[in-house]
A and B are shown apart, each in its own frame.
Chain A
Amino acid sequence: MHLFRTLRWVWPLITIALLGYGLHVALTVPPDADQGNVGRIFYYHVPTWVATSVCFLTNLICSVIYLVARTRSAKLAMRMDALAVSSAEMGVVFCFLGMATGSLWGRAVWGIWWTWDARLTSTLVLWLIYISYLMLRHFVSGDAMRTLAAVVAIFAYCDVPLVYMATRWWRTQHPAPVFFGGPDAGVAPNLMPAVRWNIVAWLAWGALVVAIRYAAERRRQLRDREVAIQTLEAVV
């Protein structure tokens, strides 16, 4: 418990330091030989996709645990539900930023803002599916909504491997994946430290914001529960 209290104050400081250093490295490393300084967009573009993947994976895991635990442990199920919505929201933000930074880079290097190739289209579909997930949660309430949302989250995650494999399965405008993408994939070794630092920094940022969102969602759940109890007491 003491560790969590300490972490509550130390984590934001670590995150700010990491983001500051990540920004410093991103702006001071030598420019890419082929692309020039516009290649620095990659130092933010790649980390946003790594963070998106982590957020949506967290959402999937929490949704599965919710479905398993909802009839056994209400407390665990509610915690997992809160974490699922928190990570989905953060994932949607990262996903939007990944598309926005990619589009800005594409306009500068390819000369186009957008192309309907398999990678970009499946990514847009992924973003829209998670927007639908959040809309479902916003407009409906109750235990049935949570169960339905958890099922939707499992279906939504099916698009994530599709997005990743799109550059291998189809001919796309988008370059090969940076990680596990084969011999021709990845960032030049001299640029890798900037990418790595920013991945760590934005993951730390994601964890911090998800933690705050989780706390807010737990407060809302507890308040709703309290209102439900008061309503029942008034009826009885």
Chain B
Amino acid sequence: MILVSLLTSIFPYDAKIDSPLDHQHLVIAYCITWTVQLGYLLYVCRKWYSGRPPDRQTEESNLPAVSSMTE
């Protein structure tokens, strides 16, 4: 609740030109953008971290190409 009120206070609101619905949608638009982007960043970072090689000595140059193996 405190977070919501803090967030809404950051976004400009003028009762003369804005309706409460306008203000609500403005806050939601910015929050949804940041939430989705940070969520995706978290997913990508987890994917990157979980895929780290067990042996860091493995070099790509030492390995033959998959296409040449399957041919």
Interface string of B20-54 (1 = CB under 8 A from A): 01110110111011001100110011011001110
Query: Known: A36-B14, A41-B25, A104-B25. Is A226-B33 also a contact (CB below 8 A)?
Result: no
Measured in the bound complex, the distance between the Cα atoms of B32 and A97 in whole Å is 8
Known: A213-B44, A216-B44. A226 touches B26 (CB 8 A): no
A89 to B47, CA, bound (A): 13
Interface assignment of A101: CB less than 8 Å from any CB of chain B: yes
Interface string of A213-236 (1 = CB under 8 A from B): 101100110111110110010000
Is there contact, CB below 8 Å, between B29 and A41? yes
B6, CB-defined interface residue at 8 Å = no
A40 adjacent to chain B (CB < 8 Å): yes
Chain A residues closer than 8 Å to B13, beta-carbon distance = 37
Interface residues of A in 17-73 (CB under 8 A from B): 23, 27-28, 31, 36-38, 40-41, 44-45, 48, 70-71
User: Which among B17, B23, B45 has the highest number of chain A CB atoms within 10 Å?
Assistant: B17
- Bound: A74/B22 CA distance, A: 53
Q: Tell me if B5 is interfacial: C-beta within 8 Å of chain A.
A: no
Q: Which residues of chain A are within 8 angstroms of B67 by Cβ–Cβ distance?
A: 70-71, 74, 77, 143
| Size of B's binding interface in residues, CB under 8 A | 39
A171 at the interface (CB under 8 A from B): no
Cβ-defined contact, B25 with A105, below 8 A: yes
Q: Do A219 and B68 touch across chains, with their CB atoms under 8 A apart?
A: no
| In the complex, A129 has a CB within 8 A of chain B | no
* B21 contacts across to A, CB distance below 8 A: 107-108
| Residue in B closest to A213 when the chains form the complex, CB atoms | B44
- Tell me, rounded to whole Å, the shortest Cβ–Cβ distance linking B23 to chain A: 7
State whether A75 touches B29 (Cβ < 8 A): no
Chain A residues with CB under 8 A of B40: 89-90, 93, 209
Residue picked from A28, A225, A229, most chain B C-beta under 10 Å: A225
Residue from the list A38, A93, A97, A212 in contact with B22, Cβ < 8 A = A38
